[in-house]
Structure 1
Amino acid sequence: MIKYPFKSQLFLFVIIACISCSCLVPEKPKTAYVDSTNINLTPSIDSVLANQLGADDYGMKTYVMAFLKKGRKRWMIDSVTANKLQKAHMENIGRLANEGKLVVAGPFEDNTDLRGIYIFDVRTIEEAQKLCETDPAIQAESLAMELHPWYGSAALMKTVEIHKTIAKKSF
């Protein structure tokens, strides 16, 4: 015959084991029912906007991406001249953006030879090269450009317009 204290220990063990096992049983998936008559599975395409932005059937277009790199004469430029070049460089960026030729521009935040990017709304490397040659920092060889054709979202064309509505300061 089993003694009473052992029975209570056995009972306690069984209870703890049952509770432990119930924690291991996965929860039943919850099912949600949705009235499918109110769901629009086809996205609404704004064909006028797509055409205006030059989008293809995928909503994409060709740009030219420029990688700005440290130029070969960068080390020869004194700090006063470097500050003037930077100001002129930023003014050139603003002009190109306002003309609709420069869609995105910005510096890299690490301190390497790769300084930043431009994304031009042009179709050829030659067109982008001509735009790069208007940059005073490139003219002074403080910066150099590496140009590549790039296929990206045509929605980038709205970047400058949107940026103007969110920037509290300008350069």
Structure 2
Amino acid sequence: MKKYIFAFLKRGPNRDLPKEEAAQLQNAHLQNIMRLAEEGKLILAGPFFGNDDLRGIYIFDVETLEEAKSLTETDPAIKAGSLVVELKEWYGSAALMEVAKIGMTLQKKSITD
């Protein structure tokens, strides 16, 4: 068992962007997710189904809420106010770390295929 930090991504106040700007912001958001995963800080990330205020989740492998907060502040969508974040500590299975490793291996394999 180990501690993780969950980041609940919620709809922010600045959602009315022109289509092209919104697409660029989403791309930058996804690039940031990939960077954090490659650094080993972000274990899992993904959107929720539906169109309510709860938009997605990050699961961080960091020790403190402060470190998780500083990582979320690198997200262009959070910087732009398109998303806001709520952080929560969680105690769960250490096996979750293996899921992240498997995911990165599969992603690299799909890129080379």
Answer yes or no: same fold by TM over 0.5: yes
Report what 1:12 is aligned to. Answer: none
Identity among equivalent pairs (%)? 59
Cross-structure match for 1:65: 6
What residue in structure 1 maps to residue 78 of structure 2? 138
Q: Which has the higher contact order (CA 8 A, sep 6+)?
A: 2
Distance 1:166 1:109 in 2: 23
Task: Quote the residue 1:103 is aligned against.
Answer: 43
- 1:12-40 CA-to-partner distances (Å, cap 9, x unmatched) read xxxxxxxxxxxxxxxxxxxxxxxxxxxxx
Aligned pair partner of 1:156 in 85, 96, 101 = 96
Task: Give the one of 18, 28, 31 matched to 1:88.
Answer: 28
The Cα shift of 1:96 comes to 0.3
1:121 aligned to 2:61?
A: yes
Shift of 1:151: 0.7
- Which residue pairs with 1:25 in the alignment? none
Q: By how many angstroms is 1:78 displaced?
A: 1.4
Q: Which runs of 5+ in 1 are unaligned?
A: 1-59
The DSSP-based 3-state class of the residue aligned with 1:111 is coil
Deviations 1:44-98 (A, max 9, x none): xxxxxxxxxxxxxxxx1011100001111113x1111110010000000000000
Give the TM-score taking structure 2 as reference length: 0.90
Q: Report how many residues are paired.
A: 109
RMSD (Å), alpha carbons: 1.2
| Structure 1 stretches of at least 4 aligned residues deviating more than 2 Å after TM superposition | 164-169
Structure number, greater radius of gyration: 1
